[in-house]
Structure 1
Amino acid sequence: MSMLSGKRILVGVTGSISAYKSAFLVRLLVKAGAEVQVMMTESAKDFITPLTLATLSKRPALSSFMGDPNTGTWNNHVELGLWADLLVIAPSSAHTLARCAHGFCDDLLSAVYLSAKCPVFFAPAMDLDMYRHPTTVENLNRLTSFGNHIIQAEHGELASGLVGEGRLAEPETIVQVLERHVAGRPVLKGKHILITAGPTQEPIDPVRYISNHSTGKMGYAIAHAFSLAGANVTLVSGPTGRSLPDRAIRRIDVRSAQEMYEATAQVFTEADVTILNAAVADYTPLAPADRKIKKAESVFSLELTKTIDIAATLGTRKQPGQLLMGFALETDNEHTNAVKKLHAKNLDWIVLNSLRDAGAGFGHDTNKVTVIDKDEQTVEFALKSKQGVAEDLVTLIEKKLLERGLE
């Protein structure tokens, strides 16, 4: 479930060639479960029809104070400003930025902006030189000083044919910014969270490798949840083929267990919290062949050597104030084995998965976990989506950080 589910969102659309993207934005917000009310400036109608936005939002797109002339109703800007949980003006033309920055109030959108009690987001869209012009820069700074949020324009090809900053942020990016704002947790803001995810691949020869069934779904869900909560997230990922769930996440791609260790160890000293979710191979071929091994003998032996134990190694390097969470996937004596790992590797928590639990483990969109802390206090969670599990882990770590802050 999206963080925007049930939120009431006003979407302001202004006169810009990128107004067509507002249709995609509205569609994504509705799909996320938000209630969306579109407001348009008169010039916006030159680029996209009110009917299009009304159909997507399931509400009439408003552009004037006059409502139904037959009944004498009107579109009350004060009520709209009070109704909304969020106001996002996307695209925000240079003209609209200037009007809002200086308090001009000659249409419904600007009147609602001045009346709004909710957080306001401006997503500028204009040509390169307009975006860089000192007047626009000053207006953006002025709006920021009022407590508004700016969703920066992106770099790319513009309608004029120039290439540079000025493109409206992609609708997916705008939605992520809104989700991050709604999900933000002050105690996590600015905290550095290091997460490992996915499998490792241990080369046998140039075309074959040893691996496991990990898909990376759980680790990527954890990274997404922490990023939405306002943390700075570094994700060290084995080969998964998964796309990054949030552009704010820094991803480091690795292949082998040794590469995962080296990448993780390099970032570990900077991390406030490290979550080791990756399914790292325990063994790797001792001497990988540099050429493809031909099928010849009926029996083939492969000599393996242990890989470095990332959790145990980082556990010995953990500094006061750092938190370390590991994962254990077990098939028997689950609780006993998990507790042994918890203490042997100097973890603050271990998250236990049992392959005996239906719908848990590799490949599923759901998971069922038991979290054990270093005092062996145990919390069992019900089967839920992996995103739901990730949010539970965010809450657990947030609580620990809050406790430390009060000590």
Structure 2
Amino acid sequence: MLKNKKILLGITGSIAAYKAALLVRLLKKQGAEVKVVMTTSASSFITPLTLATLSENPVLIDFVKDDSGQWNNHVDLGIWADLMIIAPASANTIAKMANGICDNLLMAVYLSARCPVFLAPAMDLDMYAHPATQQNIEKLINFGHHIIDAESGELASGLVGKGRMAEPENILQKIDQFFQKDLPLQGKQIMITAGPTYEYIDPVRYISNGSTGKMGFALAGVLNDLGAEVTIISGPTHQELPHNNIRLVKVETAQEMYEQALLYFTSSDVAIFSAAVADYTPAEKSKVKIKKSTATLNIKLSKTKDIAKELGKIKKSNQLSVGFALETNDEIENAKSKLKSKNFDLVILNSLNDKGAGFGYDTNQITMIDQNGEMKKFELKQKSEVARDICEEIISKLKALNIRVL
């Protein structure tokens, strides 16, 4: 299952680094292509020459290649990999990962990685059990990373307890299982709208809202991991694609978003309308910057196209449509109204009255409502976790519509 898979192995300063040689050998035997990035301290425990020989690739430690003065491009490495595994992952490196501290090549590669990330922690039992370490590990789990739990046994300190790096055979099994896992949405075409729209008053001013696109991009990442072919149609946002095989279509205005959504909707198995599209646009747009010459400025507004409603009119029985409702009052009633008027199969309600939910937050609190009136309420979670909850519900709804999922 690992044949031709590109595995990026990070090795940190730990006595368990010697096990990395066997892990590289096992990965190569499975047909994987392996590249190794080490921290400087890791080279005190195992030589780069050993790992270069086994991986059949140069081992990278520093930003600049020895003697040549050439740059080891961390961005290219992060894009290259199908999976990144850090084994052993020391307490120090785990803390850096959890807090975005970039002070070596390995951390730069990690922060550039667009692939799934695995960690195999290795440290003494007290370090592993410390609340700071456990909090950092929990934070990485919330990032969507995969933790290959430490094992119990005799440690380098002479103590016995939990903290040993998982054996290479067990790590290989976890990686193999990951690539063999069911991809229930494999082959499914999914369209997502995300972010705000800009409705221009003049060349430099526009009407918009506070949407950041975080929820839509989080959904794109999870759907991609589940095997779907994802197209995200996004208004202006600073969000980065979680995977480089997701198609990104950039738009600015509601009209542009409508045109692109219409283009991709007909071939989509699932359409998710998470964008915060402006409801109104200036009826007349000045071709030059409007000068501040009067005490007041009156702008006549016209309705924009209701993208979800227009596409809901042409939705086929074998398509699933999911909408979002951000409300401030009469939340349930307004969400149910959208469910009906826009022909949604499922609406995701979040309220600005819930602390930590809404525009700009990394968290969200949602209630799912379907066409049968069934409601599922969820606690406040990271948007990455909310995305997983929504995707699980999408898979369930596809099955209910007798649409084949794997």
Instruction: State if a TM-score over 0.5 links the two structures.
Output: yes
Give the equivalent residue in structure 2 for 1:300.
Answer: 297
Q: Does 1:26 align with 2:9?
A: yes
Give the equivalent residue in structure 2 for 1:115.
Answer: none
Q: Which amino acid aligns with 2:360?
A: G
Structure 1 unaligned segments of length 5 or more: list them. Answer: 1-9, 11-20, 28-52, 65-74, 93-107, 113-122, 127-158, 162-166
Give the equivalent residue in structure 2 for 1:286.
Answer: 283
Cα deviations across residues 66-122 of structure 1 (Å, max 9, x unaligned)?
xxxxxxxxx9x9xx79xxxx9954149xxxxxxxxxxxxxxx99xx9xxxxxxxxxx
Shift of 1:124: 9.3
So what's the TM-score if we normalise by structure 1? 0.62
Q: SS at the partner of 1:398? A: helix
2:399 and 2:79 map into 1 onto residues whose CA distance is 35
Q: Does 1:322 align with 2:319?
A: yes
Cα deviations across residues 199-241 of structure 1 (Å, max 9, x unaligned)?
0000000000000000000000001110011100000000002
2:298 and 2:403 map into 1 onto residues whose CA distance is 57
Instruction: State the Cα RMSD in Å.
Output: 3.5
Give the equivalent residue in structure 1 for 2:13.
Answer: 55
Give the equivalent residue in structure 2 for 1:265.
Answer: 262
Q: Does 1:246 align with 2:204?
A: no
Larger Rg: 1
Q: SS at the partner of 1:236? A: strand
Counterparts of 1:8-407 in structure 2, within 5 Å, are 25-27=8-10, 53=11, 55=13, 58-63=16-21, 88-91=32-35, 170=79, 173-175=82-84, 182=178, 185-405=182-402
Q: Is the 8 A contact 2:327 2:352 kept in 1?
A: yes
Q: Which amino acid aligns with 1:255?
A: E
Q: Which amino acid aligns with 1:90?
A: V
Shift of 1:320: 1.4
1:275 and 1:295 map into 2 onto residues whose CA distance is 40
Alpha carbons of structure 1 residues 264 and 58: separation in structure 2 relative to 1, 3 Å? farther
Percentage of pairs with the same residue: 43
In the comparison of the two structures, how many residue pairs are matched? Answer: 281
Q: Is the 8 A contact 1:199 1:216 kept in 2?
A: yes
Structure 2 unaligned segments of length 5 or more: list them. Answer: 37-49, 59-67, 71-75, 85-113, 118-174
Q: Which amino acid aligns with 1:182?
A: F
So what's the TM-score if we normalise by structure 2? 0.62
Alpha carbons of structure 1 residues 224 and 57: separation in structure 2 relative to 1, 3 Å? farther
Cα deviations across residues 132-158 of structure 1 (Å, max 9, x unaligned)?
xxxxxxxxxxxxxxxxxxxxxxxxxxx
Q: Which amino acid aligns with 1:385?
A: Q
